[in-house]
Structures are given as C-alpha cells and as structure tokens.
Amino acid sequence: MTQRHHSDLMAQLRATQKELDTDLPTPTREISAWPQPQFSDLEAYERIALAQAAGTQLGVASPFFRAMEKSEGTKAVINGKTCVNFASYDYLSLNHHAKLTQAVTTAVESQGVSVSASRLVGGQRDFHGEFEEKIARFLGTEDAVALVSGYLTNFSAIRTLVGEGDLVMVDARAHNSIYEGIRISGADHVSFPHNDWVWAADYLEENRQNYRQVLIAIEGLYSMDGDTPELQKFIDLKRKFGTWLLLDEAHSIGVLGKTGRGLCEEQRIAPDQVDIIMGTLSKSFCSCGGFLAGRAELGELIRFGAPGFVYSVGLSVPNTAAASEAFDLLISDPERVARLHTLGTQFQSLAHGLGLDTADAGPYAIQPVIIGDSLRAVWVSNALLDEGFNVLPIIAPAVPDQSARLRFFLNADHSMDDITAALETTARLIARSKTQFSRTL
C-alpha cells in the first residue's frame, strides 16, 4: 500500500468510526481485578520490536514487506524503479500469460467469484471435479483433492491421518505447515537431520514397534536450500517399516522432472510409490490453494474428514480457473521447465566461478547464496535493490545465523544477462559488506 493510499484509508476509517460512535451505546466500565492484556506485552511482540530496533540502530532498513507497485514476469517496480525480480514463486512465468488471464475472466463472468459454501454442503461445482481429475491425470495418481490453501493442505492432511499413539518422522528443514499439522494432530514427532534417511532408519529400527501408524514427511525441493532428498531411500524405509510417506512438492511440481511432474519424474520413480503427494497452487500454478494426490481412499478421507476441506469454503472460481489453465500451459509447453533447468545449471556454474557459496542446492529454480550473517544478508539485499535486483534475505531464526543467505528464485523467462549481472553485483556487495560491517560492529 502506498503512503497516500494508507492516509486515505485512515481518514475514511476515522469518518466511519465517528458515524458508528453516534449509534453505539456507551460501554459500561466495570472495575476488574485483571489488568487488560496488551499485545505488546507478548514475548513474540518484544522479539519483533527488538529486531526492528536493532536494524534501525545499525542503519539497516527492513527488507520485509517490500511493496511492489507492479510485478510482471522477471521484472518488478519498487519505489518507482524497475528491477529484476528474483523473489517470486512464478517459476514458469505464467502469471501474466494471456491464456491464464482470459481463462480467469471467462470463468468469473460465467460462474461468479466465490463458490460461497463448503463443497460438502453446497459449494461443489463441476469445475472442481474436472480440475482434480486433471491433477490426478498429470501426476499419475488415482485421485486428487484441492483445498483453499497450500498451508492448510499439509496441516489438514496430517491432522486427518495421524493422532495420539502415532509418530511422524519429519525432515528438520520441512515447512512450518507440516510441523503445525503434527502439533495439532497429537502424534509424537521426531525431526531427523536434513535428508538423513540413515538416521531415520536407525530411529525406526528401535522405535517402530511403539507406534500404531508412522508417517514420514519430506519435501521434493527444499525451499530454503534448493536441494532434493533421495526419494528411493525414503520409499525403501516406508516399505521396510510399514509407514506412510508424504512428499510435499510445493516447490517441485512444475520445476523438477523433464515435464515438471516433480521429484518422482526427476528421480524416475513411479508416483504410486508415494502415499501422499502434496502440492500448492501458489507457485508454478499462479493461483492460491493446495492439493493432495494419491489413492482413491486418501481422497475420500480428505473429502469427508479433513477439517480444512470440510469446514472451509471450496476453491474459488478464479483460483481454480487460473490453476487449471496453468496446468494446461505446463502440459502443452514443457519447454518452460527445460529452460528453468538450464538457468539453474548456469546460475550455479557462474556463482561458483565468482566464489559464491550455494551450499547443497541442486541446479534448480531455488538458489541460496550463503552470506553467513543475518545483518550482512539484510544489508546486501537492500544494496542489491538499490542496484536494480530484488533478492530477499533469509535470516535467523528461519535459518541459523551462520547460514543466513540470499535466496534467488529463478523464473523460466530470466535471461542469462539478468543472472550474470545479479551475481556479479552480489559478489561485489558481499565483499563490500565485509569491510562495511567490520567497521560498524
């Protein structure tokens, strides 16, 4: 929101409030022994305030909630200046595709915007079923179910499948939606070192017999690190110990595999080897929502039992139309995926040539550049913006301070010139940040 928008809105709000105040009864003020709670007394609030104060004191502006006036393809306009954007999940560069916007317009004109009810009780539309069939066909699973948020998809699936007396083995770097789903499920959980299936196997060897059901949760392409697990090893584990395997493909469908079908395609594994394939619509598919794909019984369980499906509205008309069209575009033009692969490979060789550390990332669409200090990562990100590149930092506590990083999201339409210029500038600014901060601290 621009400054002007904000003050217009505040003025409007004050006027409305005044109007309302004249109609409202005067509140009775009872004396309470309890002080009124203040949000600012919460520890979480204090942590935020402290981090902001530290940034201000060191003269480093916050890079978060950096507002864009416009964003299209590989470019964004921020503070009136056009920059190359490396901070978007629009991996396949479809967000402004004419067919996508046309599909949304046509759908909204004929169906309205919202489906206005839970699908179970009035919100079901023909296009929901058609869309889910499309996902299942694309992935090679028996069924797929779409929910209104990717976050809610993990959360609800885990809550539905496991509970007290069960165990979830989860990769230490898995997404928060998985961890929160585990928490609410009441199942025990063990977080294993990142990608370490040997550790997980040892743990299961000793503890499997203590649990009824066990679920192993991993991701196809890790969003902070840009690396992938050895899927076959986790499949072997699930077979040996009789567990389920959930594969979160939020960042890998549309990105991994020759035709974008995700980690199974990338590592040549039949999708029916994985019990639960989870995906989001907010990344390669330029929409909002999530889905679960797998066997027909999984679909039934989710449709009749998952809280985020049963007690939430069905996927909206424009969100379904956009995602459905994006699937069609991906299917008809897998060349976009090939371009992303090429860019990932070239990014890495260029970065390494400049002495930049991309840690364990593979040659894919997510590329971290390790800075090793949260404050310097923020400074470099701000300085990059000044030079025309929007790259966001990932800092403590999201990652340990010593692995604070910049995270580049690649998009099929980035040019090698964009990437070369961004990486050369990054290398120069990292070197500058070291001298700058040895003086400041």
Ligand X SMILES: Cc1ncc(COP(=O)(O)O)c(C=O)c1O
Regarding 149 and contact with ligand X (CB under 6 A), the answer is: yes
Amino acid at the residue 301: L
- Total residues contacting ligand X by CB under 6 A comes to 14
CA dist., res. 200 & res. 396, Å (int): 26
Only one of the segments 148-156, 254-262, 336-344, 366-374 lies at the binding site for ligand X (rule: CB under 6 A); that segment is 148-156
CB of 390 to ligand X, least distance (A): 18
| Residue 50 CB contacts under 8 Å (≥ 6 apart), including other chains | none
Closest to ligand X by CB, 103 or 221: 221
Draw the binding track, 386-415, toward ligand X (x: CB under 6 A; -: no contact): ------------------------------
Closest to ligand X by CB, 60 or 318: 318
CA dist., res. 100 & res. 281, Å (int): 13
- Identify the residue among 63, 229, 254, 290 touching ligand X (CB under 6 A): 290
Nearest to 365 by CA among 152, 93, 151: 93
- Identify the residue among 132, 248, 265, 418 touching ligand X (CB under 6 A): 248
Q: In the block, which residue shows the tokens 């809550």?
A: 159
Output the residue with the shortest Cβ distance to ligand X: 150
CA dist., res. 349 & res. 367, Å (int): 12
Buried b (16+ CB within 10 A) or exposed e, 73-103: bbbbebeeeebbbbbbbbbbbbbebeebbeb
Nearest to 281 by CA among 84, 100, 159, 160: 100
Closest to ligand X by CB, 152 or 167: 152
CA dist., res. 62 & res. 49, Å (int): 12
Regarding 219 and contact with ligand X (CB under 6 A), the answer is: yes
Nearest to 391 by CA among 422, 430, 417: 422
Regarding 280 and contact with ligand X (CB under 6 A), the answer is: yes
Closest to ligand X by CB, 177 or 320: 177
Only one of the segments 66-74, 127-135, 147-155, 293-301 lies at the binding site for ligand X (rule: CB under 6 A); that segment is 147-155
71, 51 in Cβ contact below 8 A? no
CB of 314 to ligand X, least distance (A): 16
CB of 78 to ligand X, least distance (A): 21
CB of 217 to ligand X, least distance (A): 10
373, 434 in Cβ contact below 8 A? no
Draw the binding track, 168-187, toward ligand X (x: CB under 6 A; -: no contact): -------x-x----------
Nearest to 372 by CA among 323, 338, 406, 333: 406
Q: In the block, which residue shows the tokens 């059901």?
A: 213
- Identify the residue among 131, 151, 211, 327 touching ligand X (CB under 6 A): 151
Only one of the segments 198-206, 247-255, 303-311, 321-329 lies at the binding site for ligand X (rule: CB under 6 A); that segment is 247-255
Nearest to 140 by CA among 296, 272, 1, 244: 272
CB of 289 to ligand X, least distance (A): 7
Helix 126-139 and helix 317-332, axial crossing angle in degrees, nearest 10: 30
Taking phi over 0 as left and psi of -120 to 50 as alpha, with beta for the rest, 403 belongs to alpha
Closest to ligand X by CB, 177 or 312: 177
CB of 177 to ligand X, least distance (A): 5
* Count of Cβ atoms closer than 10 Å to residue 14 Cβ: 10
Only one of the segments 189-197, 229-237, 244-252, 341-349 lies at the binding site for ligand X (rule: CB under 6 A); that segment is 244-252
Regarding 250 and contact with ligand X (CB under 6 A), the answer is: yes
58, 402 in Cβ contact below 8 A? no
Draw the binding track, 327-366, toward ligand X (x: CB under 6 A; -: no contact): ----------------------------------------
Closest to ligand X by CB, 52 or 176: 176
In whole angstroms, what separates CA 14 from the centre of its chain? 36
- Identify the residue among 223, 320, 367, 411 touching ligand X (CB under 6 A): 223
Regarding 324 and contact with ligand X (CB under 6 A), the answer is: no
Regarding 254 and contact with ligand X (CB under 6 A), the answer is: no
Only one of the segments 62-70, 150-158, 362-370, 432-440 lies at the binding site for ligand X (rule: CB under 6 A); that segment is 150-158
Kindly list the residues in this chain that would bind ligand X in the complex (CB under 6 A): 149-151, 154, 175, 177, 219, 223, 248, 250-251, 280, 282, 290
